[in-house]
Amino acid sequence: MIQTVEKLAESVAALPTDERERFYRLLNSSLKNGGADQEHELSDENFRKALKWVDEHRKEYDGQFVLLEGGEMIAHGTDPKLLYEEARRLGIRAPFVKRVKAVVLPFGGW
Q: Which helix (H) or strand (E) holds 67?
A: strand 65-69
Model confidence band, residue 81 (pLDDT cutoffs 50, 70, 90): very high
What would the pLDDT profile of 15-72 be if each residue is shown by its tens digit? 787 777 777 777 776 666 654 444 444 577 888 899 899 999 999 999 999 999 888 9
Closest Cα partner for 26 from 7, 36, 12, 14? 12
- Whether residue 41 contacts residue 54, with contact meaning beta carbons closer than 8 Å, is answered with no
Q: Is the dihedral of CA 80, 84, 90, 92 positive or negative?
A: positive
Residue 35's pLDDT is what? 47
